[in-house]
Amino acid sequence: MTDVVMPKMGESITEGTILEWKKQVGDSIAKDETLLEISTDKVDSEIPSPATGTIVEIIAQVNDTIPVGDVIARIGEVGEGPATDEASVKTAATEETVADEPEPVPAIEVVVQSEIVSEKPIIQSGKRFYSPLVKSIAKKEGITQTELDALVGTGNNGRVNKKDILAYLKTGMAGAPTLKEDVIEKSRSIVPTMSDKIEPMSRMRKKIADHMVQSLQTSAHVYTVVEADVTNMVTIRTENKESFKSKSGVNLTYTPMLLDACIRAIQEFPLMNASLDGDNIVHHRNINMGVAVALPDDNLIVPVIHSSEEKNFLGLARSVSDLSGRARENKLTPEEIFGSTFTITNPGVFGGLFGMGIINQPNVGILSVGSFQKRPVVKETEYGDTIVVRHMVYLTLSYDHRIIDGAYGTKFLARLVEIIEQYNNDKIKN
């Protein structure tokens, strides 16, 4: 008998969601044949079978979110029949565990209980994983999905454990210290009307939402904005885009220029390439640049150029073109969206004057690039000040104040501006 476990798809991935089983109980399968499709925080992936045989048991169902390493199915020998006893034994064990709890669970004597219990109890959230014991208690006590999702878990990765749910039951909704009471109140504040359009969030949208909230709750965000003269970059692109495309087969865009400049600035300010691990600062050897890419459905994904400091300009240009193209076609591998150490996002391509990005965890900084715009600016000359028309851009650095102070972040930006304004043709030829 071979156990099929939820695979680990990256260092920061702790769980995955079952999207589709390609095989059912009783079906034969060969080793490395696609068994199921899962979704993680970063990407959807097809998972191959670890062995040849017959599917004898499927434990995790579609839309279940399962921790990495947990058994989700079992494969027996070729021709072996489906398992019939294990599931029932497992269920009986769970019920026995609940029945053997040493402390009785008191009823909730709160006036608003009758209103809440009228909702249909649910034992599995699409956003959070709940253990069989927690789900069993929730079902037995009539705890609704709203209540369950509102509990603040004290377990690993914020999961709700037995202690949390029993504390909630003992104290009651009105006084429970672990309950976000405002969540329930807000859930009742918006009542859809017949004229409202209700559209469920996509999986990717849910993931983006969760990541953004988690980042704001983790990092102490600080923002600094500077202005840079990008006239040299505009001139370089205008003069070289045709020849660059004919020689390399890649379009000459501003993105690799900005990446090149940012990499050079990070090399002089290496703390911008660090991350926090508890109370330890991790100084990364390589600069893995994340580049935010807008998808056709208006969602966002961040492919990563690993060891970007080792690439010349043409290498950066080809990486940007390749990763962004495959990102829009949903053809990125899990490795290509993990491990960023710094991120660049460009709301300017959609006309944004400047942006204030949310840090891509576990990075300590993200650079937002605004739109290139012609503006009159004052330039100092040997004959005095003069007003000239230049291509200008606003650059916004969002950084984690836990380890990056304002002076360091501002000095980094000032150096980046110098590199950008001194950019020349020699850079694109290297």
Neighbour count for residue 74 (Cβ, 10 Å): 21
| Number of neighbouring beta carbons within 10 Å of residue 163 | 12
401 assigned to active site: yes
Q: Which two tokens stand for residue 70?
A: 């947990």
- Collect all residues with Cβ–Cβ distance below 8 Å to 349 and sequence separation of at least 6: 371
Q: Report d(CA 167, CA 6) in Å as an integer.
A: 31
- Given 27, 182, 297, 405, which residue is catalytic? 405
- Mention every residue, 6+ apart, whose C-beta is less than 8 A from residue 214: 361
Q: Number of helices and strands (H, E) in the chain?
A: 12, 19
Residues 376 and 388: their CA atoms lie apart, in Å, by: 5
Query: CA 295 to CA 16: how far, in whole Å?
Result: 22
Rounded to whole angstroms, how far apart are CA atoms 249 and 366?
Answer: 30
- Two tokens, residue 97: 């565990």
For residues 8 and 4, give the distance between their C-alpha atoms in angstroms, rounded to a whole number.
12
Q: Which residues of 200-212 are buried (b: 16+ CB within 10 A; e: fewer)?
A: eeeebebbbeebe
Out of 64, 306, 401, 426, the active site residue is 401
Helix or strand (DSSP H, E) at 90: helix 86-99
- Alpha carbon distance 364, 219 (integer Å): 8
Catalytic residue at 284?
Answer: no
Helices assigned H by DSSP within 219-344 = 231-248, 254-268, 313-328
Contacts of 403 (CB under 8 A, 6+ apart): 271, 274, 276, 281, 364
CB contact set of 109 (below 8 Å; sequence gap of 6+): 172
Euclidean distance between CA atoms 269 and 263, whole angstroms: 10
Q: 203: closest CA among 301, 279, 283, 73?
A: 301
Q: So which residues are the catalytic ones?
A: 401, 405
